[in-house]
Amino acid sequence: MKIVLDHLTKKFPNRNKKSDQDVVAVNSFTFEFPDGKLIGLLGPSGCGKSTTLNLISGLAAPTEGKIYFGDEDVTNLAPEHRGVGLVFQNYALYPHLTVLQNITFPLENLKGKEKLSRKERERRAYEIAHLVQIDGLMDRKPSELSGGQQQRVAIARALVKMPRVLLLDEPLSNLDARLRLQTREEIKRIQKETGITTVFVTHDQDEAMSISDMIVVMKDGVVQQIGAPQEVYDEPANLFVAKFLGTPPINVFEGTVRGGKLSIGGEEIMAVDGACDGDVYVGVRPEGFIPDEHGTLSCALSGVEIMGRDVSIVSAHPSSQNATVRAIVSAETRLDISAQSVCFSLKPSKTFLFDRRSEQSIPFTKDATGLFRRAVEKKLSE
């Protein structure tokens, strides 16, 4: 079941009574969530992602715009008739009911033709429980379960009535780091097995990147970028998206483009063919630095952190927006730790330009072979 949002807008009256201006939680959200995919709504807190989820579930009514499930307009449909399963951030498991009773609860509401016998209800509950691997815990109360188990029960309860759409609100935020890794894979697996269109909300970019088929990055109620995780990571539409995705975060420098050449702090760094002249922000992913004694970007070396798999070079640069410039290089890289400075050349594919004023991405030709050619030429001329 695809979900279509058409100029979906939600405004809340301003808490501050002196201001007449409404708070726009979601601003003209238009997108078609493809059928059978896992979609992550990603953004910092207060960006409108949870409100979007509530609008889809029907717990909140939109101020403007329409919502379609498939071709059916559900904008004015009551939540119970939408066929959505919602997993709440704190799971909202009924504490006085056992796991089995919790899972069969939605089924007991079915009336008339859809009414199920007790046996059939339990059979379905066990089927779903088996899917989420909690069939051994059916007689326990929620308080006797671990966080991860509670999470699975909540998912089972949302799935048992075979919803058209599954919604998860910050599904992993209450779990510890280790369980989080495990559970997010579990969610992915369950989603794949059921094939239900699933939308989940998170502020953790790692989580969204790792399991989503598609991510929607939001800020202040406005959708910033939509796309496959890798695509959004590799081609951020603006500075916000670039900063929000990726750990460690992207390094941002102030720079200028003159005649297709990018310079940072007066030093010419690299050619950026196709970019217009002007002041820019330069975003460089940590993995975009190549330690290179002939490199054009010279930074004051402050330390090296060895993390086993790779090495993190911590340095500083006067034009950097971040306090430190962090580069991640492979552990085999030889580096003179006692040196005062370190020079890098930049991978064009990991380097992004953003307009200083609009913070929108500026495209330029990312010709890797060009970089190599120029590097060879430079060496030959010396």
Partner 1 sequence: MEKKNLKGWLYLLPAILFLGVFMVYPLIDVFIYSFEEGYNSASGTSFGIGLYNYEYVLHDPYFLQALKNTLILVFITVPLSTLLALGISVGLASIKKLRNLFQTVYFLPYVTNTLAVGIVFMILFKPTAYTDGLVNIFLGMFGISPIDFIGGPYWAKMLVLCIYTVWVVMPFKILVLTGALASVREDYYNAARLDGTSSFRIFRKITLPMISPTLFYLVITGFIGAFKAYNDAVALFGTELNVAEMNTIVGYIYDRLYGEGGGYPSYASAAAIILFAIVLTITCINLLVSRKHVHY
| Binding stretches for partner 1 (CB under 8 A) | 57-59, 79-81, 84-86, 88, 90, 92, 94-96, 105-106, 108-110, 143, 157, 161
For the bound state, the minimum distance from the C-beta of residue 123 to partner 1, rounded and expressed in Å, comes to 18
Residue closer to partner 1 by CB (options 116, 222) is 116
For the bound state, the minimum distance from the C-beta of residue 58 to partner 1, rounded and expressed in Å, comes to 8
Cα–Cα distance for residue pair 203/270, rounded to 1 Å: 34
Residue closer to partner 1 by CB (options 163, 229) is 163
For the bound state, the minimum distance from the C-beta of residue 111 to partner 1, rounded and expressed in Å, comes to 9
For the bound state, the minimum distance from the C-beta of residue 211 to partner 1, rounded and expressed in Å, comes to 23
Residue closer to partner 1 by CB (options 90, 333) is 90
**Nearest to residue 4, comparing CAs of 63, 55, 61, 60?**
55
Residue closer to partner 1 by CB (options 49, 285) is 49
What distance separates the 2 farthest-apart alpha carbons in the chain? 86
For the bound state, the minimum distance from the C-beta of residue 79 to partner 1, rounded and expressed in Å, comes to 5
Residue closer to partner 1 by CB (options 149, 224) is 149
Residue closer to partner 1 by CB (options 53, 190) is 53
For the bound state, the minimum distance from the C-beta of residue 80 to partner 1, rounded and expressed in Å, comes to 3
